[in-house]
Amino acid sequence: MFDGLKDKLSGFTSDVEEDVDDDALEAEDEPDADEAAGEAPADEASESEPATDAQPSEDDTQVARQTAETDRSQADAEPPAADAVATDESATAPAAEVGDTDAVPDDESQSDDAAETAADSASEADSGSDEDDGGRGLAAKAKLMATGKTVIEEDDLQSHLDDLELALLSSDVEMSVANEILDGVKENLTGQTRRRLSSTGNLVRDALRESLYDVINVGQFDFDERVQQADKPVTIVFTGVNGVGKTTSIAKLAQYFEERGLSTVLANGDTYRAGANEQLEKHAENLGKKIITHEQGSDPTAVVYDAVEYAKANDIDVVLGDTAGRLHTSDDLMAQLEKIDRNIDPDMTLFVDEAVAGQDAVNRAREFDNAAEIDGAILTKADADPQGGAAISVAHVTGKPILFLGTGQDYDDLEPFDPEEIVDSLIGE
């Protein structure tokens, strides 16, 4: 189920992770002027006076900052850069050079950035020495340690977001839903910092997880609880085009309710299509359920009405009423559903479509919801759908939740739709 989409999402997270980690490594391996900060004294110390190696190892940004504080108080008298390294006598030489360069504060604002300025100057004064430390100068490490590293900026992310957009659209995720997901990911990731040793992969996966969950979870309610708590009989009417698994889903739900101790009666309100009675009758027979039918062409409202009366008379908990899947015009469809609404006032109207229809299913969900407001959706044939676009899009587009997934042709192949579980299965826990 949704394996193609899973692969694409996993491609996105690993691409971002790889890119970000590469950037972080590059930043450490090829320090810019900033990152070379303080390496000069450190490296020089280790080369010329090994006995003092221990000193720079403690020489992280904190030390630099403390020193900078000291500098501030001495700023008038001495260049802070010189002071910053003066605590380490092995570093005195580069410090003196530093004093010759732009590290000398002319004013208070320069003094505020003393640690970095010292670092910059040291780097300029002794460029190339960082290579000796396997490319990771102590101060560069210290800087990462002390500040964490801002690893994901919007610009860095954009090409990955473009890839993600393509992945979502090619998986039949509706455009507005894809944009919502992209906005969420961008918002969740941009400016994120990766602490040393924490995983970029988790950061990206969590951002994607949150965004997907937000669009999938729209409108969710506890279906079982609503049915259990409603006055009996509970009437549920099903809409959707023919051939998508509507009749099978009604039968599956009859079994679902039976397993929860609720009795059902089926009603074939699809009086439009020849053979619809026989089809639902077959399911009713298989499941040992009562079915109410009228002859083809009769009023669907009358069929559902009779089923409700039957349920009341026989203490049946739930009425499951099919309706015509396709009429001449959507006006006819709306008129039919409105009449059922007016006369029967069903507790829920559920839209059924097949996950494999992708964008078509999403568009139909929107149309049916416009014609006769739905309360939720059932997506069938999820077992045969590698894309997942409809499963991700329907709730956001209609504002009504997906309540069940059909996952096969057997009566027990019906799974309550759990947004958290779906997102976990798409992204990995």
Ligand X SMILES: Nc1nc2c(ncn2[C@@H]2O[C@H](COP(=O)(O)OP(=O)(O)OP(=O)(O)O)[C@@H](O)[C@H]2O)c(=O)[nH]1
Give the residue numbers of the binding site for GTP. Answer: 240-247, 322-326, 380-383
- 138 or 265, CB closer to ligand X? 265
In sequence order, what DSSP letters do the residues of 277-293 get, joined into one string? HHHHHHHHHHHT-EEE-
The one segment of 55-63, 174-182, 327-335, 408-416 that binds ligand X by CB under 6 A: 408-416
Only one of the segments 18-26, 38-46, 246-254, 358-366 lies at the binding site for ligand X (rule: CB under 6 A); that segment is: 246-254
Binding residues, as ranges, are: 240-247, 322-326, 380-383
- Give phi and psi for 149, each to the nearest 5: -120, 130
CA angle 279, 281, 285 (to 5 degrees): 125
Work out which of 290, 363, 408, 411 binds ligand X, going by CB under 6 A.
Answer: 408
140 and 28 Cβ atoms separated by less than 8 Å = yes
Distance CA 287, CA 291 (A): 11
Smallest gap from residue 242 Cβ to ligand X (A): 3
282 binds ligand X (CB under 6 A): no
Largest CA distance in the chain: 103
Q: Which is nearer to ligand X, 4 or 11 (CB)?
A: 4
Contact status: 413 vs ligand X (CB under 6 A):
yes
Crossing angle between the packed helical segments 389-398 and 175-189, to the nearest 10 degrees: 90
Structure tokens at 386: 């590698």
Separation CA 127–CA 118 (nearest Å): 13
Q: Is the sign of the CA dihedral 378, 382, 387, 392 positive or negative?
A: positive
**Size of the residue set binding ligand X (CB under 6 A):** 18
Nearest distance from residue 330's CB to ligand X, in Å? 17
Q: Is residue 219 close enough to count as binding ligand X by CB under 6 A?
A: no
Cβ-based nearer residue to ligand X, 141 or 381: 381
Residue 105 binds ligand X (CB under 6 A):
no
Q: Which is nearer to ligand X, 68 or 340 (CB)?
A: 340
Nearer to ligand X, 1 or 64 (CB): 1
Which positions from 361 through 390 interact with ligand X, judged by CB under 6 A? 380-381, 383-384
- 409 forms part of the interface with ligand X (CB under 6 A): yes
316 binds ligand X (CB under 6 A): no
Integer Cα distance of 68 and 32 in angstroms = 21
Of residues 194 and 283, the one with the C-beta less far from ligand X: 283
What is the CA 270 to chain-centroid distance, rounded?
Answer: 38
* Cα separation, 144 vs 38, whole angstroms: 13
Question: Which of the residues 164 through 193 are near ligand X (CB under 6 A)?
Answer: none
The torsion angles phi and psi of 95, rounded to 5 degrees, stand at -60, -40
Residues contacting residue 358 through CB under 8 Å, at least 6 positions apart: 172, 385, 387, 389, 390
Minimum distance from residue 244 beta carbon to ligand X (Å): 4
296 binds ligand X (CB under 6 A): no
Determine which residue in the list 143, 406, 426, 427 makes contact with ligand X, applying CB under 6 A: 406
Provide, rounded to whole angstroms, the least separation between the CB of residue 251 and ligand X: 8
**Phi, psi for 259 (deg, rounded to 5):** -65, -20
What is the spatial distance between Cα 112 and Cα 183, in angstroms, rounded to a whole number? Answer: 37
Contact residues for ligand X (CB under 6 A)?
A: 242-248, 279, 325, 380-381, 383-384, 406-409, 413
